[in-house]
Every structure is written in C-alpha cells, then in structure tokens.
Structure 1
Amino acid sequence: STHEQKPPTNSFSPSRLTSSLLAVALLSSVGSSMLYGYNLAVVNHPAQYIKEFFNLTTVERYGTSMSTEGLTVLYSVTVSIFALGGLVGSFTVRMLVTKFGRKGTLVKSTALVFAGSGLMGFSRAFGVPEMIIVGRFLTGVHSGIALSVVPMYLGEIAPKNLRGFLGLVPSIFICIGVFFAQILGLQEILGEHWPLFLSLTAVPAFIQLMLLPWFPESPRYLLIEKHNIHATVAGNWFSTYRGKANNQEEVEEMQEEQHFHSSVQTVSVCELLRDRTVRWQVLSVAVVNMGIYDGVCLQIWFYTNSIFENAGIHASQVQYTTVGTGAIEVIAGLCFTIERIGRKPLLIGGFGFMGICCSGITFSLILQARVPFMHYISVACVVGIIAGFCIGPAGVPFLVTGELFTQSHRPAAYIVGGALNWLSNFTVGFLFPFLQVRSSLSGAFCYLVFFGVCIGVAVYVYFIIPETKNKTFMEISQMFASTSEQEVGALDLLNDITNQLELLESTTT
C-alpha cells in the first residue's frame, strides 16, 4: 500500500437489525433483484407459445414459415439478449452511482422496466416480435445496473456484523423471482397469456418507485464521495437505520476511510485494472463472477423444461417438476447462515457441490438408456445444482465484490464483476440450446465443462480469498495490501539477487 495510514483498530459493538434497515433491504431487492430472477425464468414455460408467435408473424410477413433451426436461433437471441442488456447496464454503474448516488440510481433506473414491460406486453397485439427482443434488452439493462447497485447500497448502509445477512437478501429475492415466474408461467395460469406474463415486471418496479425515495442515501457516498458530513451525521440516516444506538465509532470509521482516500478520486475501470495494489482483488472478483454463470445455473433457469425433457420426465409433468425446483431454490436461499459460517465456506461448498452435481448429470444421461432409475438421478442433480447455487454462489460473490474494495475502487470493481458476469451469462445462454441439440452424448458431456469451472473456482477461493466476515472495509483492504507488499518485496529481492549475479559474472569475466 502506498498510504501510511493504518486501518482503525477500534472494535464496534454489534448492531441490531432495525425494522427500517430490513425494510430498505427488502424494498430495494423487490424492485431490482426479484425482477432479475423473474426475467431469468420468464421465458421458460411460454417458450413454445413465443416460438409459435415468431413463426406466425414470419408467415404473415413473408408467406413462409421458419425452419426449426431458425426458430432456435431467434429464440436463443430472445433469451440471451437479456444478458447483453445486462452487460450494457453494468458498464454504466460507475457513472450513475457517482452522479445520482446508490438509492437515486435504483429509483431512476425503474424507467427502463416500464419501457421494457410495455414493449413486451403489447408485442402480440401489434404483431411485432422485435418488441419482445427490445423489451428483454431494456429489462436486461435495468438488471445489469441493479445487480451491482443493490449489494453496493446494502453493503454501505449495513453495520459490519449484519453486512453478510443483508447482502444475501437480494439473492433470496432472485430465487423468489424465479419461483414466481415458474408459478405464473404454468399453462393453467398465465402460460397462454404470455404478453401479460412478460409485462408483470412493472408491478414490483412501481412499488419500489413509490416507496424507496423515502429512505436515506448511503452515508459513505455522502461523506466520502460528496464530502457532505452534515447530510451524513446531522441528517436522518442514523435515526432511521440504527435507532438509538451509539454510532460514534461507526462515524469515526467512515471518517478514517474518508481521510485515507482524501487525495484519491473514484477510479475508472482502466485505473482499477492498472492498479497493482488491488490486482488480487480484481482477479478474485473476475473468478467468482464468471464462475456463477459458467457454472451451469444460467441454463438451469432458462432451459429447465428442456433439461427435464432430456432427462426423461414426461412432457405433461415437466412444468410441475420445474415449479418444485423453484420451491427448493427459495428454501435453500432462506438459510441465512453467512454470519455464522462465513463467506469463504459457503463459496467453496456451493461451487464444489454444484460441480459434483454437474458430473452426476453427465453420467446419468449416459447411462439412462440402460439404467431406468438414472432419470431420477438427473432430476436430483439438477435440484442439487440449484440448491448449491442458492446456498452460496447466488449472493456471496456480489457481497464479496463490495467487501474487497474501499470506496474509491468499489464502483469500478462492480463494473468489472458485472461485465464478466453478464458476458458469461450471454455466452452460455446463447450456446447452451445448440449444445443440447447435438447428439445425446455431446449433450451429456457438455456438463463436464461446468464441472471443471465449478471445481476450479472452489479451489481458487480456498487458496486465495480471505474470510471477510466481521471485518471493516479498511481491514479487508489492509489484508490484501500486506499480500501485495510481500510480493513487491519478493520481487525486489529477486531483482537484487539477479543484479548481484550479473555483477559477479561481469567481474569474473
């Protein structure tokens, strides 16, 4: 570290969870994270109706129907364009949170949801399938913004002993959003009324728009980035989120961080990538965020029905089996064990269990033609992947992204993590259906790729990423700074030895 200041050594007394703190966590997640989960699964049940709509409009326009391969390509674009929008949205995070703040960004970005839901809702009435694609793109942009801003906001307003608990609230609502999409998408409910089904995202966005503005902005943003100590201390932030507790120590910790960064502006992505003092943090964010969606969960949500059909589940039972997996997601996600177990064990256990289940799917698909009960093994492995994902990888990477960086580097870090996250999301979402329609053997072996990714991420987390539970942002930064200093010292020693050897060699000569 190039700074001489040391992180604060005072220890805080544990803060309690106030009703206002819980309310803002729930509200920001309902209008953002839940929409993300909803949009992941919303195109799963009505896939056949959407394809029929695409084919019908093609016949009306050109007098001929689309080929099966053409429909697969167009539907894959419809599914994966959501991730492309998320990639675009992730690039705007630093600019938006710097200009509008964390809460302000969440409120203003709801306009994208209203525009996207309107386009999708009226697509069949106007006979324009392109409206679905554009609507999916706009909702993806919103999710790309919200998926980074919500954990950033909650991480900055939460006391350190509750940061893990509140940081996992968005992941719970991602699972709830998926579950709602699976329930509402049943043929008996909104399966055939897919335009209404796609446009329901406007409802939770409206709730967030009406209520979230009444809650205070992030105090770290106000103090460290806007240098507005009056709004931080004299405003209603502490009375809202901390109740009557003594908050002097927390104010001092924020002021220490402000002093630490007094001469440092919020860095750009290029500056972040060039900063050698945070390279291990950047690499860690890249590994865990890319591992989330390379780790098979994207296609589990986008293509659950087709996965179960390939596993031998009868077509009439597939949609109900899918709803059952959604219920398991919610139950697994409700295991708020992060403050007791820690971030690191949940990441290692989650990715490791997902990897084992991926290999189980491969072997069950290979053997199911000869061993009938292997169909049930396939379903169990899919459920295992979902459970493993919700227990750890669903929310911890976004929480860790915020914890590994201090205020000046945090927005750029979320851009890097979000961009890699969404790029993996788009790639897997677009290519997976083509992998599936190859031979049954290649469709089985494609899961071994995800097995390797999951196990690789688990090994990396075990050896590289430290436990961040109950540590301040400055303490975590100092842990990595010590590692960087040791590396620099080792490199300097190696250079000295090399120079001495060269000098000795020249003298001998």
Structure 2
Amino acid sequence: SHLTKPLLAVAFLASFGSSMLYGYNLAVVNSPAQYIKDFYNETMIETYDWSPDEKLLTVLYSLTVSIFAIGGMTGALLVGKLVTKYGRKGTLVRATVLVFIGGVLMGSSRACRMPAMVIVGRFITGVHSGISLSVVPMYLGEIAPKNLRGFLGLVPSIHICLGVFIAQVLGLHELLGKEEHWPLLLSLVVFPTMVQLMLLPWFPESPRYLLIDKGDVHATIAALKWYRPKGNIQAEVEEMQEEQRSLSSIQTISVRGLLMDRCVRWQVITIAVVNVGMQLSGIDAIWFYTNDIFKNAGIPEPYIQYTTVGTGAIEVISGMLGCFTIERLGRRPLMIGGFLFMALCCVGITLSVLFQAQLSFMRYISVGCVVGIIAGFCIGPAGVPFLITAELFKQSHRPAAYTVAGCLNWLSNFTIGFVFPFLEIATGPYCYLIFCVICLGVAIYTIFVIPETKNKTFMEISQMFASKNNILKEELTPNGHVKLAVMNGYGTLGQSD
C-alpha cells in the first residue's frame, strides 16, 4: 500500500496534539528552573515567613520535574480500559480535557501565588501524556498497512523531538525565557491540543478496533477506504477477520491475564526490557538537566541556552532520519545501533568530565557526547519500543501490553528524573557508566531475542514468537496452506511442510 494523504494527515495530527506535548513537557522546565525555584522560595517566605535552604528547593524542583512521570504512569494504567471502551481515536479526543485543566493551573500559578498549582498542573498534563504516549502509536500501528507501519509508527517520535526543540527555543531569554514569562511557557501546551480537538474527531476510528472489537464490518471497510482511497483493502479485511476468528472465544486480556499468559511470555519480557532500557539509558537525565550538564562541562553560561537549542535541532534531524530509514533498514538495526552508540557516548562523557581540568579540549568532547547520546536515542530507541509494543501483540492483548509498557516506561522516567541529581552528586561523572551498562544490555538483548518485524502482519509476528514461547501446536493441511493453530487461547499461524 502507498502512503496516502489521509494516513499522513492523521499521523501528524495525532502526534502534533499528543506526542509533541510529551517532548515539550520533558524539556520545558529546563530553562526556567531557577525562576521556578525562586518562585517557591518567595511564596514560602510570604506564606510561612520561612526561607527554605537550597537542598529543599532542589527537592521541590525535582518533584516538579518528576511528578510529570507519576502522572504519566497514572495515565498509562488507564489506557487498557479507555481504548477498549472508547476506541483509539475516541480516547485521544476525550483526553484533551486534561491538557486544558493542567495548562490553566500552571499558567495561573504565579498570579495566584500557589506553587502547588504548578505541581498539580504538571501531574495532570503527565496523565494526558501517559495516555497519549501509548494510544497514538497503537492507533497509528492499527491503521497503517504493514509496509508503512514502521514509518508511521515513528512519526510520534519525531514530534516528541520537535516538542523538546520547541520548548528549548521558546525558553531562550530573548523569547519566553524571562522570569515573568515562565507560567506562559508552561501553559502553551493548550494550543496544539486545541488544534487536535477541532480536527481529529473528523477522522475514522481504527479499522482493527471497529472489526475485531466491535464487529462492525461496514464501518471497517469505510474506514479502510477513507485511509486508502485507491488501495486494495480486501487482503487487509481478510487478515483482520482471520485474527478475529482466532480470538472469537477470548475477551480483551487484563494486565494480570497478560502477565500470567505464558503464550506471550517473551513478548512481555521484550517490551519490559526495551521500555525500561530506553528511559534508564540516561536520555531523561540529559533532557531534564541539559543546562547543568553543559555548565559543569565548562561552557560559558551565556552560551548554554544556544547550545541546548542546537541539541534540540539534532534531535529532530535524527528522529526524521530514523523515520525515513526504518522501512529500509528494519527495527533491529535502529535499536542496536542506537543503544551501542549511546553506550559509547556515555563512556565519552565520563572520560571528558574526568580530564577536562587537565585538557581544555575535553569540554568540547563532553558536549559532543551529549549530542551523540541524543542523536543515537532519537534515531531508534526513542520510537521503536512504542512501535514494537503494537507489533508484538494481537488485538486482545494489545491494550494490556501498552498498559504494562507505559507503566514501566513512566516509572523509569520518574526514577531518573528524581534520582539523577543526587546520583550525580554521589558518583560524579561515573554515573554515566551506569547508563552505559544499561544501553549495552538492551543492545545485546535485541541482538539475541527480538526478531525483525518489518513488513510482517500481526499474525506472522505471533508465529515468530511461538517457538520462543514453546507453545506452537502443529496442525498440518493436505495442500500445505497456512492454517490457524490455537495455542492455549492465543492464536498463531502454523505452516505445514
């Protein structure tokens, strides 16, 4: 199937109003960090006639940063029930109300002299990101033909990088980087969401959801024709009906059911490894504390903000490179290459920080390694884990799989956001060696365990994992045709000799 305008439009619209906000919220607290701390200090003096010390202010700021991840984990827990009840598109549309609430709270916090409004607003926008970070790739993975699933699946990761870049640009002192503007900077998330709310309801729901979950053949065909006006949709409808028959006696699996189902044991382990690995790779430490890292590297303070913006531009370019090469190279090369390059750069940061006092050029090596980590991450590890979470599971297991993947992803995000400042104080530059080991571990796991899913149907991918799970039941047909074999309630394809 060819890339059509409706497919491209819905991919960019869903990503623009949801995924981009995740990237924006990750980076937006970086440039106004000192202003936010000053605001907390001033309001405590006004309210309690007491000035907190620097350590407490650091804890409060770390909470402001990491509460976004707690909200994200909360949102991830809701994904399974929401997408089952409202559908993929329906969930995205309904979740927009959270952004409006969070944006108003953060934007009004300084005028109301209430620091809690910043923290609560960050939490609520985190809930939205927790929902959308799982639902957008699920939605795009289900509407995309198999030969474009990788390309469309990485469109959200481009928008995540774009969100980070926009936050860095708007945070420049010449724009919204002044003390009086930081509440506006935090609340700008409402505008992309407003665009999505106005336009996304006009797009069709996921065809797979309409057929397999709702049993509505006519709506499914109409949705497929809308997304592929000139394509032959008969083969896709037949593949969906085959999956529907394999799951006819199975209800949508709960999280507990997913974790207990040995038929998807290696798929669950895989999404756990890649989602935890992508967050514990050190990328969030880079995003959250970029300015501090560059300051410690010896870059003059007036130039730090411009260096940070430069890294954001590299993120966007790297994300686009991954998006446009994934259907040619496949998922595995982008994951393996990305994590190995990040591991190398983590070693480089450690060495450069250790020796920059003796060798002045090492400060530039440090900056280069930071850029390398960001580029390596955005080219593959940033988006592929969300994509393969959709690819490794069938319709009955997919909502629970995204719930598990999302919770692990956000829990790891919170851990890094809250712990990294103290880890850096305790271990100095050696903290990046921890990230190096994690990156190497994920790369090795990908090499030996994760198969290539490029241009495969969901049924074919299930068959690839069947031998790993030791549950394939052979069912031969006289003429050698592919036949559905039921494996303890989880359908796969059996191929006869």
Tell me if TM exceeds 0.5: yes
For 2:185, the equivalent position in structure 1 comes to 197
- Secondary structure, aligned partner of 1:33: helix
* Ranges of 4+ aligned residues in structure 1 off by more than 3 Å: 486-489
For 2:485, the equivalent position in structure 1 comes to none
How far apart, CA to CA, are the structure 1 residues paired with 2:231 and 2:465?
Answer: 32
How far apart, CA to CA, are the structure 2 residues paired with 1:488 and 1:279?
Answer: 16
For the 8 Å contact 2:30–2:288, the answer to whether it is kept is: yes
Report deviation, 1:482. 2.3
For 1:429, the equivalent position in structure 2 comes to 417
How far apart, CA to CA, are the structure 1 residues paired with 2:11 and 2:48?
Answer: 50
- Secondary structure, aligned partner of 1:187: coil
Report deviation, 1:371. 1.0
Matched, 1:34 2:20: yes
How far apart, CA to CA, are the structure 2 residues paired with 1:275 and 1:96?
Answer: 22
Instruction: Find 2:456's aligned residue among 448, 466, 471.
Output: 471
For the 8 Å contact 2:263–2:471, the answer to whether it is kept is: no
Report deviation, 1:483. 2.2
For 1:179, the equivalent position in structure 2 comes to 165
Q: How does 1:277-316 map to 2 (within 5 A)?
A: 277-316=263-302
Stretch of structure 1 that moved more, 157-166 or 245-254:
245-254
For 2:370, the equivalent position in structure 1 comes to 382
Instruction: Find 2:145's aligned residue among 147, 159, 164.
Output: 159
Matched, 1:225 2:213: yes
Report deviation, 1:196. 0.5
Q: How does 1:441-480 map to 2 (within 5 A)?
A: 442-480=427-465
For 1:5, the equivalent position in structure 2 comes to none
TM-score (norm 2): 0.93
How far apart, CA to CA, are the structure 2 residues paired with 1:313 and 1:183?
Answer: 18
For 2:399, the equivalent position in structure 1 comes to 411
For 1:260, the equivalent position in structure 2 comes to 246
Report deviation, 1:230. 2.1
Report deviation, 1:485. 2.4
For 2:332, the equivalent position in structure 1 comes to 344
How far apart, CA to CA, are the structure 2 residues paired with 1:238 and 1:359?
Answer: 48
How far apart, CA to CA, are the structure 1 residues paired with 2:129 and 2:64?
Answer: 16
Q: Which residue identity is paired with 1:23? A: A
Instruction: Find 1:246's aligned residue among 211, 232, 235.
Output: 232
Report deviation, 1:397. 0.4
Matched, 1:391 2:379: yes
Gaps of 5+ in 1: 1-14, 490-509
- Secondary structure, aligned partner of 1:371: coil
Deviations 1:92-140 (A, max 9, x none): 0000000000000000000000000000000000000000000000000
Q: Which residue identity is paired with 1:139? A: T
- Secondary structure, aligned partner of 2:249: coil
For the 8 Å contact 2:18–2:136, the answer to whether it is kept is: yes
- Secondary structure, aligned partner of 2:174: helix
Q: Report the count of equivalent residues.
A: 470
For the 8 Å contact 2:466–2:472, the answer to whether it is kept is: no
Instruction: Find 1:141's aligned residue among 107, 113, 127.
Output: 127
Instruction: Find 2:85's aligned residue among 82, 99, 105.
Output: 99
Instruction: Find 1:484's aligned residue among 442, 466, 469.
Output: 469
Identity of aligned residues (%): 68
- Secondary structure, aligned partner of 1:206: helix
Matched, 1:130 2:108: no
- Secondary structure, aligned partner of 2:176: helix
Report deviation, 1:238. 2.2
How far apart, CA to CA, are the structure 2 residues paired with 1:344 and 1:245?
Answer: 29
How far apart, CA to CA, are the structure 2 residues paired with 1:467 and 1:41?
Answer: 32
For the aligned residue pairs, the C-alpha RMSD in angstroms reads 1.1
TM-score (norm 1): 0.91
Q: Which residue identity is paired with 1:338? A: I
Mark the structure with the bigger radius of gyration: 1
Q: Which residue identity is paired with 1:18? A: T
Report deviation, 1:488. 10
Matched, 1:272 2:258: yes
How far apart, CA to CA, are the structure 1 residues paired with 2:358 and 2:368?
Answer: 18
For the 8 Å contact 2:225–2:233, the answer to whether it is kept is: no
- Secondary structure, aligned partner of 1:188: coil
Report deviation, 1:244. 1.8
- Secondary structure, aligned partner of 2:60: helix
How far apart, CA to CA, are the structure 2 residues paired with 1:160 and 1:238?
Answer: 13
For the 8 Å contact 2:68–2:125, the answer to whether it is kept is: yes
How far apart, CA to CA, are the structure 2 residues paired with 1:461 and 1:486?
Answer: 22
Matched, 1:23 2:9: yes
How far apart, CA to CA, are the structure 2 residues paired with 1:137 and 1:36?
Answer: 12
Report deviation, 1:486. 6.7
Report deviation, 1:226. 1.0
For 1:85, the equivalent position in structure 2 comes to 71
- Secondary structure, aligned partner of 2:411: helix
